[in-house]
A and B are shown apart, each in its own frame.
Chain A
Amino acid sequence: MKKFIRTAMTALTLGLSVNAMADDSVGWPEKADLKFGFIKLTDMAPLAVAYEKGFFEEEGLFVTLEAQANWKVLLDRVIDGQLDGAHMLAGQPLGATIGYGTEAHIITAFSMDLNGNGITVSNAVWEEMKKNIPVENGKPVHPIKADALKPVVEKYKAEGKPFNMGMVFPVSTHNYELRYWLAAGGLNPGYYAPHKGDTSGQLQADVLLSVTPPPQMPATLEAGTIYGYCVGEPWNQQAVFKGIGVPVITDYEIWRNNPEKVFGVSKGWADKYPNTHIRVVKAMIRAAKWLDENNNANRPEAVKILSQPNYVGADYDVIANSMTGTFEYEKGDVREVPDFNVFFRYNATYPYYSDAIWYLTQMRRWGQISDSKPDSWYMDIAKKVYRPDIYAVAAKALIAEGKIAADEFPDFATETGYKPPQKGFIDNITYDGRKPNEYLAKFPIGLKEGDAL
């Protein structure tokens, strides 16, 4: 083992010196000692890989990675400068910039992954739900819609029991995905009314959603405080392993290839250390590519890295379950989901404006944005927060260095930052990032243009 480490080190050092010599396109980093925060989730993998594989060091960056207690602490520490940057929920830079929660201008030039979340319900709820799900070859038919949950929720309601579910943060992907899934099944997940001081998000709710930090989800479910949750991995698979709950759907099935985490830094930091920022993005693009290359060939090694206690720290088997392209629903019901975690392919790392706008539409849909906004506002905010321009500089430098081929990136000459209208949502509604208000009008449940609470 020691010998292996040594050999790897030598290889790395050789690579390092060559690189440092070859690279002139991006200036030296203004700040080389960096501390990045993350939450213990498998989708922090690009950070861990960039560190462990030496990609940061090859950019002359000396990075320390530090796990954070929860999303709020993480964001606050990025804002007050204790962290140089962090693994963030896509909604966090947007929410912070428009002033929902702590107000601060946060930007992102790197999207960390696609998909990777799931919705899990407790065993008791699953037993009830199962009655409403068709079976084929002895297995429930997927994707399972919230229609199957609706009678359960109604039964609880009739018994006077509030139906509680957990998500990880008010502006988290999980909140919007859980709401999307519930609403698509005719369950109202409740509205926010920040202008009235109501940030509980439970107005008119059929299902009451509340915040629980990801690693505590299984324990909270086990304690009976919540009947289900939406969270990233490994916390859905953990529920299966512990035998305390059953994942019913992955976010891949709610919205195929949905953007998930981003790497966020404060605007002030990015302005002060532009070269450092570009180099960070370079290292992370390489890490993302490493994670996906050769048809996920490196995933087992990545799982090994992630299972170290200082990263995700869960057992290898738990992490491997989802990271290597499978997903276990009911115990023993393992299904192939090759794209459950996507880090690089489908331009996963590129920060699309249309992704930002989707999150803004959901913030508006559930009242976190209390006033109706024109389409141009959505686009302006997306431009303010999502920075494909920085990404492009980093990508071009990597192309020039010969590390990644140009055809693995979008064509920067023509790329507008807007994906063509996307299908693949569980409710079959098409999303066009250029027409946010038109998109909002299509939802049966949710605020629309002109609505106010």
Chain B
Amino acid sequence: MKALLELSNVGMKFDTPKGTFEALKEVNLKIDSGEFVSLIGHSGCGKSTVLNIVAGLLQATDGGVILDKHEVTEPGPERAVVFQNHSLLPWLTAFENVELAVKQVFKKTKSKAEIRDWVEHNLELVHMAHAMHKKPDEISGGMKQRVGIARALAMQPQVLLMDEPFGALDALTRAHLQDSLMEIHAQLGTTVIMITHDVDEAVLLSDRIVMMTNGPSATIGEILDVNLPRPRDRLALADDPTFVRCRQQVLQFLYEKQRKVEPMPKRTSEKAEATRKRA
């Protein structure tokens, strides 16, 4: 079966005054349609760079990204992004923010009424119908992020890219949003790539967790399959042995194997190589 999204030998070098800096090296990843994939790693490991390359906001210096047989060369609504700090236009209401995206994507195919319905539908999906005529600075951080998700979803993307979407939120709000996200994922079957720092979040939401090594020359360290049945329930999972084991493995990767910010020990690189071959 052909993957929906394929990253092959993606590398990223930046020119700096001190010479060339290699941020990413030989990132290879295939993602199937409908899959929920998390990217996890320490700060500065290049997760965001990967995501931005997929989004088309950055151009890889080596290798490339293929989405549904087309190479990614520029950003586009089929790869909608949910940004870390919501990135809503502060002068527009929730409704208008989503509407801007919808009009841009569907202006030729949907009538005015259909556009309005679609905007409202997506806001309902994230439980924001009640505050859709409020401006960003009149609603809470969690609500803003919901609107951000609604905006991305409303574009009907082939891949939904989420850059630490819940990073700035308090634990309770974050839990609510995670539940919503699972609900939506179940309902729409969207393909999702999400960057996170949070191990629990990664295990709870993902089908696969892609663990990245530390930079420079960061790459994929391990990939973990999370074989937990859906729908998942956070309370029930707390004691679930699979959940605990997955959680353990990610923690081990992050805090034992990748504790230091030094160049990779050879063993890990070999393992990564092996992982890539398996994928």
Indicate if A touches B (C-beta under 8 A).
Answer: no
